[in-house]
Structure 1
């Protein structure tokens, strides 16, 4: 049995999607982010970084969303959510997972929390504008990559696809959101039809109307 410490539409969404895809035995434990519960003593005992999510699997406790996604994929090899060792697509899996988390997600965090990246409040609007351009260019790259593909890596869904779906949800209010790109929107709409996505979005109160 897994326990996923989560908050709706937070970085816990990708692990939540993977747990549903795996049809794993898991429970959700809400961390009340609105009340800063991720900084509570009890939560910090599990995750000293004080961030969401955290996964508890028996005597193993792990944090950081991509690390949880990779761990779950590795722990359930028959689900093929990560290419096997020796598969040429394995390197591409790590390439895209690192791009999604170290580049796209990191730049989105600057866009959402510009006040953490300046000591001059007058710079905030300029940071937001610059970041929106940067993130839009990143989704344009992903759109190009998906031109002739159903999935980001290989011929079947992987943890990368669920991670990208989460980031696309976050970016839906950009001037040019992910659904405004031809190939990326087709890809996202196909993902939105999967049972795992439907179940998670229902639990996390996200409407999929725009993806239909």
Structure 2
């Protein structure tokens, strides 16, 4: 049985989506960020980065949200959550996964925690504002890509889609949130009907009302 160390609406959400969609046995283990449990000796022994999530798969320990998602997809190939080796969609899959995690997620982390990126408290709000503008431009790129498309890669749902849905949730309070884009909004509202996303959002206490 898989064990996912998680915290609601954290980076563990994408792996949580994937686990639910795979319909495999798994256990959720709450890491209480409010009490800084991710920095405890016990947790650091599993994940020295002190960040959430961490996945236990037998004797294997995997951290980093994207790495967990890819491991789960490759370990359960019948779900087709990652294109096969040799598939024309596989390079595009990794292109968009890298863009989502190395670019959008990284920039979102600066936006959400601007105080960690300066020693000058006077510029914290400006950092957050600038980042929001940069990330909005990134969502515009995705909006263009999703013209007449139901999924980011290929014709079926993949890890990319679960990951992007998580990032969109994090940006839902932007002046121009993902739901304000025509193609991206249609795409997200379609994904919000997926039973795994519905189940996870219920467990993590996130309303999908805006996606209906």
Task: Provide structure 2 residue ranges, at least 5 long, that are not aligned to the other structure.
Answer: none
Give the superposition deviation at 1:183: 0.4
CA separation in 2, counterparts of 1:209 and 1:129?
Answer: 27
Distance 1:112 1:199 in 2: 26
Q: How does 1:23-102 map to 2 (within 5 A)?
A: 23-102=23-102
Q: Secondary structure at the match of 2:156?
A: coil
Cα deviations by residue, 1:124-167 (Å, 9 ceiling, x for unpaired) = 12111110100000001100100121100000000000000000
SS in 1 for 2:14: helix
Partner of residue 14, structure 2: 14
- With structure 1 as the length reference, what TM-score do the two structures score? 0.99
Cα separation, 1, equivalents of 2:202 and 2:75: 26
User: 1:104 — aligned with what?
Assistant: 104
Residues 99-130 of structure 1 deviation map (CA, whole Å, 9 limit, x = unaligned): 00000000000001111111111111211111
Partners of 1:195 and 1:120 in 2: CA distance: 45
1:128 is matched with which residue?
Answer: 128
Q: CA RMSD in A?
A: 0.5
TM-score by length of 2: 0.99
Instruction: Spell out structure 1 runs of 4+ moving beyond 2 A.
Output: none
Alpha-carbon distance, 1:187 to partner: 0.3
How far apart are 1:98 and its partner, in Å?
0.4
The count of residues paired between Structure 1 and Structure 2 equals 212
SS of 2:176's equivalent in the other structure is coil
2:9 aligned counterpart, secondary structure: coil
Name the counterpart of 2:156: 156
Q: Which runs of 5+ in 1 are unaligned?
A: none
More off after superposition, 119-128 vs 47-56: 119-128
